[in-house]
Amino acid sequence: SQTIHQWPATLVQPVGSPLSLECTVEGTSNPNLYWYRQAAGRGLQLLFYSVGIGQISSEVPQNLSASRPQDRQFILSSKKLLLSDSGFYLCAWTTGGILAGGTGELFFGEGSRLTVL
């Protein structure tokens, strides 16, 4: 069966410090991968998505970047955190898509709660 893991689960970082959140998927190949952020009182905001190794797309200008060095690994990074980067970060995957005839439901990792002080 497929599983998704992300870490760390919780972290507290000072403003200006770097960030690295990691997500891995097991039990599937060539997944579509996503990073979402959920700030307090706000909905899930899509930050990045990737349809393959080295392919990263983003619709939201921000202080963060993403990389996909391996097929089942997705990393969210920042060189210098801002207070506004605080939130609950969720990695998600799906297999196939419209072209593959799937429903496209997302499967989420456990989440990483980031507090920037």
Partner 1 sequence: GQNIDQPTEMTATEGAIVQINCTYQTSGFNGLFWYQQHAGEAPTFLSYNVLDGLEEKGRFSSFLSRSKGYSYLLLKELQMKDSASYLCAVRGPLSFENQAGTALIFGKGTTLSVSS
Where on the chain is the footprint of partner 1 (CB under 8 A)?
32, 34, 36, 41-46, 49, 51, 57, 59, 90, 94, 96-99, 102-111, 113
Q: Name the minimum Å distance from CB 16 to partner 1.
A: 27
Please identify which residue in the block is written with the tokens 């921000």: 62
Which burial class, exposed, middle or buried, applies to 13 when counting CB atoms under 10 A from its CB (0-12, 13-18, 19+)? Answer: middle
Q: Name the minimum Å distance from CB 9 to partner 1.
A: 10
| Nearer CB in complex with partner 1: 19/35 | 35
Q: Name the minimum Å distance from CB 36 to partner 1.
A: 8
CA 94, CA 32: separation in Å to the nearest integer?
5
CA 45, CA 20: separation in Å to the nearest integer?
18
CA 21, CA 81: separation in Å to the nearest integer?
13
| Nearer CB in complex with partner 1: 8/102 | 102
State the pairing for strand pair 112-116/55-57. unpaired
| Nearer CB in complex with partner 1: 51/82 | 51
Q: Name the minimum Å distance from CB 106 to partner 1.
A: 6
